[in-house]
């Protein structure tokens, strides 16, 4: 679902959380931008992240609500809670640092239903499920909070089980050829993935000495 977001340079944490929740954020500058770029199926609720000026953020929220007829989710620092609690221009607000589950729930309460998912967009390995449409992962039926790159690495492993991959190959396949980080990046992400998979499942990712890693 396409979702207008302001300012045009939102924080990486907010972008990651929206993508993980199944939304496609579209940066907008003002109310004219919101209206002119309205997609054919319509927007999901708008998200405004307050980075500096609360007044201008509330003013834009009011215009979006009135002129574009969209509910607005305001993302704020907790020090601003009292100032926005009674604001009628916003549909709801979310405190930072962002909790991904709370973000998803609050947007759903504003009318953004979960995107439809086809069977081809679900990857399974034993009791692990990866939803390719929403970037959600569940392990043993419980949601797992993976970062974007942790998810991409795990997805690559699930799609390519059994084979040994060198660190250099993983960097190229998962991070891309234009990524200049060293192989240490792979080791760090594998370590984090093993921790999030848990003790019983960490052995799914095995280390092949002097070569790299194997999944499965």
The alpha-helical segments, DSSP class H, found in the chain are: 12-20, 31-36, 54-67, 81-84, 100-109, 148-159, 167-170, 184-197
Beta-carbon-side half-sphere exposure of residue 33 (alpha carbons within 13 Å): 13
pLDDT at residue 113, rounded to an integer:
63
| pLDDT averaged per 10 residues in sequence order, the chain, 216 residues | 93 90 91 94 94 93 95 94 88 91 87 67 93 84 86 96 95 81 89 95 96 96
Q: Which domains does the chain have, with CATH numbers?
A: 2-109 (3.40.50.2300), 119-215 (1.10.10.10)
Note the pLDDT tens digit of each residue in 89-109.
Answer: 899 999 999 988 889 888 988
For residues 66 and 77, the answer to whether their CB atoms sit within 8 Å is: no
Cα–Cα nearest to 106, from 79, 76, 68, 80: 76
Neighbours of 141 (CB within 10 A): 7
Report the pLDDT value the prediction gives residue 178, as an integer from 0 to 100.
Answer: 65
pLDDT in tens, 52-81: 899 999 999 999 999 999 999 999 998 999
**CA contacts within 13 A on the Cβ side of 184:** 3
Q: What is the pLDDT, as a whole number, of residue 117?
A: 57
Whole-angstrom Cα distance, residue 201 to residue 187?
Answer: 17
pTM above 0.75, yes or no: no
């Amino acid at each position: 679902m396409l979702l207008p977001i302001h300012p045009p340079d939102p924080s990486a944490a907010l972008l990651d959380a929206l993508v993980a929740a199944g939304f496609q954020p579209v940066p907008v500058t003002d109310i004219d931008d919101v209206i002119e770029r309205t997609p054919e199926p319509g927007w999901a609720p708008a998200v405004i992240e307050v980075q500096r000026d609360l007044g201008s953020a509330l003013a834009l929220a009011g215009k979006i609500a009135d002129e574009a007829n969209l509910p607005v989710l305001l993302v704020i620092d907790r020090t601003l809670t009292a100032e926005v609690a009674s604001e009628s221009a916003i549909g709801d607000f979310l405190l930072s640092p962002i909790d991904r589950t709370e973000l998803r729930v609050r947007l759903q309460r504003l009318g953004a239903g979960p995107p439809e998912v086809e069977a081809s967009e679900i990857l399974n390995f034993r009791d692990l499920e990866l939803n390719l449409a929403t970037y959600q992962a569940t392990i043993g039926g419980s949601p797992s909070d993976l970062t974007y790159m942790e998810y991409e690495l795990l997805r690559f492993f699930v799609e390519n089980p059994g084979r040994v991959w060198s660190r250099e190959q993983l960097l190229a396949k998962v991070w891309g050829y234009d990524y200049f980080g060293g192989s240490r990046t792979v080791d760090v992400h594998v370590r984090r993935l093993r921790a999030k998979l848990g003790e019983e499942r960490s052995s799914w990712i095995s280390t092949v000495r002097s070569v790299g890693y194997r999944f499965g």
